[in-house]
Amino acid sequence: MKEIKIKGAGETVFEHTLKNGFRVYIWKYNLSEEVSLSLTVKYGSVHTKFKVGGQTYEVPKGIAHFLEHIKFNETKDMTAHDYYNKLGSYVNAYTTYDHTSYEVVCNENIKDNLNHLLYFVLNPFFTKRLIQKEKPIIIEEAKMVLNNPYNIGYDTLQKNLYIENNKKYLVTGMPEDIKSITIEDAQNVFRNFYHPKNMFLTITGNVNPYEIEKIVDEYFNNQKFDKYSNPEIICKKELNEVVKKHDEVKTNVTKEKLLKSYKISKKSYKVFDDLHLRILFNIIMDLNFGTTSEFNDYVISNNLVDEIYYMVSVEEEQIIITFEISSSYPIEISKKLDEQMNELNCLTEDFERKKKVLIASTILGYEDATDVNIDIRNSIIKYDKIIANMKDIFSEITFKDGEKIIELLKKYQTTEVILKPNSKM
């Protein structure tokens, strides 16, 4: 078993790789009363078209989320929820654009909890009756998503932001997508993606890493799997343009909200890898729009906004920066965002201060089993490995790197959605 030493934090993550390609990541934390287990499949909502051998398949939108739901059915009369309720453990799952995770939280019977997590996710139980039974339930969930005013706003924003990227579609799929799903679709996705080589297990909390290794080895020694088909995801290259620059949606909100995305081409940033782009853009955004920035102080003190939230996403072809702002003056705030984006600043003293915060967060980050479990998952999904030297990376980035990010930001496309109340309150 490989030991991954986390520099600066004095922590160790154990990595165990089986012959079938299945990977296990374990972080032992004696102070935790609970153990967090997560089994992650590298398959999400955007993966609707793929090639296996010489054959191309296209499955309905929402199939990843649909499969997540039906995987909890173990037999006609038994679900994973039934099993874990008897154990007194928590079980849940979620689907994102690029992965699906099944989670269990327990504080005893770790072997039983772990073995059953592997069992119910890796063993298929698909019937036409089950597929038809689940459809109305999942359609109602999709409708609930669409009835949420903020989800409506983000859905509109994504559709206006992306031309080719499947992120423009709901993770759940639309009701008509869900209705079109067949048992063959579910079996196809499960067969090609729910394979040990396309999955990994993360366990954090008060556990013995070598005991976990033994449990996992014993489980897989008694299982047989077909050879991994190594499916090739097919996706079109996303363009730098946007579909629509401005939209307004009247919905059930009490106050206007501005959702705005900046779509920046990565072509100018070839000197930086994705990890450094995430770090540097987040630092620049924090210095210019964070809680201690002059911009934030101005708009808050003048009662122009209630709060500012932003997110940086580094994708295959672009960097996407999205703002969410509650304001009675969305048009004015949108203009001010543009003005600030065109005059981004990066002062040496502020940049170094932010670096120190990031270094401290690396050292203090290993204090919660659930949070570390999520961090490990995110690292494997984004980089296919644990970044053990984050402290060094934060230390080595320079003020000049920050200046370079701003210097190369010559042009971008924007799209915005303003959520408006249905009627004046």
pLDDT tens digits, 75-132: 988 999 999 999 999 999 999 999 999 999 999 999 999 999 999 999 989 999 999 9
The structural domain count of the chain equals 2
Which two three-digit tokens encode residue 131?
């597929």
Task: Give the integer Cα–Cα distance in Å for 355 and 375.
Answer: 19
With H, G, I as helix, E, B as strand and everything else as coil, classify residue 246. Answer: strand
**pLDDT average, residue stretch 358-380:** 88
Are residues 49 and 172 both part of a single domain? yes
* Mean predicted lDDT score pLDDT of the chain: 94
Give the domain-ending residue among 212, 233, 254.
233
Are residues 215 and 273 both part of a single domain? no
Express as a percent the part of the chain with pLDDT over 90: 84
**pLDDT average, residue stretch 254-274:** 94
**pLDDT average, residue stretch 168-184:** 95
CA 34 from chain centre, in angstroms, equals: 23
CATH code: domain of residue 396: 3.30.830.10
Task: Give the integer Cα–Cα distance in Å for 370 and 386.
Answer: 16
Are residues 26 and 160 both part of a single domain? yes
Give the domain-ending residue among 233, 264, 293.
233
Cα dihedral sign, 108-112-117-120: negative
- Output the pLDDT for position 424: 53
Q: Which residues contact 82 (CB under 8 A, 6 or more apart)?
A: none
pTM for the model stands at: 0.93
Task: Give the integer Cα–Cα distance in Å for 20 and 187.
Answer: 21
- Output the pLDDT for position 425: 45
Task: Give the integer Cα–Cα distance in Å for 198 and 226.
Answer: 13
Q: For residue 115, tell me if it sits in a domain.
A: yes
- Is pLDDT larger for residue 32 or for residue 181? 181
Strand ranges in 206-356 using DSSP code E only, listed in sequence order: 232-233, 246-251, 257-265, 307-314, 318-326
Give the domain-ending residue among 171, 203, 233.
233
- Output the pLDDT for position 367: 86
Contact present, 35 and 106 (Cβ < 8 Å): yes
Nearest residue to 420 via CA among 304, 302, 255, 260? 255
Task: Give the integer Cα–Cα distance in Å for 201 and 211.
Answer: 14
Lowest mean pLDDT among 149-153, 259-263, 372-376, 402-406: 149-153
Contact present, 34 and 156 (Cβ < 8 Å): no
User: How wide is the angle at C-alpha 381 spanned by C-alphas 383 and 319, nearest 5°?
Assistant: 70
Are residues 200 and 264 both part of a single domain? no
With H, G, I as helix, E, B as strand and everything else as coil, classify residue 185. Answer: helix
Are residues 362 and 220 both part of a single domain? no
- Under the phi-then-psi rule, with left for phi > 0, alpha for psi from -120 to 50, and beta for the rest, what region is 8? left
Are residues 203 and 257 both part of a single domain? no
Q: Helix crossing, 274-289 with 294-301: angle to 10°?
A: 40
